[in-house]
Structure 1
Amino acid sequence: MINTTRWNRWRYSLYAPVYDVVAERAFRRPRRQALAQVRWQSGMRVLLVGAGTGLDLPWLPRDIEVHASDLCPAMVKRLKVRANHLGVDVEARAMDAEQLDYPDGYFDVVVMHLILAVMPQPDRGLAEAYRVLAGDGQLCIMDKFQDDERPSGVLRRSLNLATTTIATDITRQATPLLTKAGFVIEQDTAVLMGKVFRALLACKAPPTSSTDPAGVLR
């Protein structure tokens, strides 16, 4: 199994020219459903993590401040072209989602669509999302997840060795990942292929101890 940041940057550079052909139509409705769960307000500062070619841009409000990041420079280049075509002002940068170059508590909304199942270490990506999100901020996720109540069997784990290399992890569970990262799920909606693809809206859990989600004493 290959699942590293370097491998993802390389393969998505290859996927970039044809990415829209695969992802635009198939995930148009799920993207809209996920973003519709957010409690939008004028002037919000929003970060699209793993923004790809910018397929979320058409479904965002026009009175917000939009930032976008993606691991692959080829994706960012295409995102900028799309933003210009749509007339949307976006600050877009090539950046590793596991090492975001933004201040703590900087964003009102963090959007993570179709990235948690791809990242080598999704816990690190969620820790970064938690860090850059304001205390009352919202985390918007749309991705594929294994059922929270049913651990992956041997066949699924074996198949995952192949799917992770060429596309995505099919064994990750939403609730354990988000809970461990310090989030509380507020909305959880099935959006595609039954319950395989889900749209989740989460917020930071109220402090219950003197440690942060990573277990570091405050």
Structure 2
Amino acid sequence: MHIRIATIASAALLATGLGLAGCNPNTTSSTGTTAPSAQAAAASASASATTVPSLVGLGLQTAQDTAQAAGFSNLTSHDASGDGRMQILDRNWKVCDQTPSAGDRADDDVKIDLGAVKLGEPCPNDAPPTTAAAPSPTPTTHAPVVHHTAPGNGSTSSGKSGSSGTSTSGGTATHHTESPVAPGDGATAQCNDGTLSYSQHHQGTCSHHGGVAVWYR
């Protein structure tokens, strides 16, 4: 009789233990899998995360407003140039970088840090502006000076505008348009028709020959 009562009591205790184990939401099976209640809790935490908006390129004040509208209120900012300047007037600064990055999933209490520089300043990670190479200067060409030649006759001749040249027998005479040179025979001027004047006064010189072309003295 005593043996039967002990057997019944042991069976009752075993059944009670199995019932408690079945009601434990954190029970892990022999295969190591998490109970469905833990998986549901993880899924719920993931669902509560929010996508971090893209704030780079916005004015600092606009970026803060955008982050707050997305549900993030724990915001801070720093001088991206490294000079340690305070962002006193947020509207005078622009965002160069952000942490966490845009598109990350985070809880709404995560701290978003914005690196900013003043408006008109380049961001540290901006590529330097490219400058077009200056075109090579076009070489300047000068028209060649043409010297007129005439058959030589072994004598020295003078032409208009004070040109003079020396010819050699059988060669050519080259006339240069340089400063007037007197013929050497006392002429004081050359008239427009090519004749020479020996007048000692300028007034009236070459009056019958079209006027003076060149004064020699």
State the TM-score, normalizing by the size of structure 1.
0.17
Which of structures 1 and 2 has the bigger CA Rg?
Answer: 2
| Greater length-normalized contact order (CA 8 Å, ≥ 6 residues apart) | 1
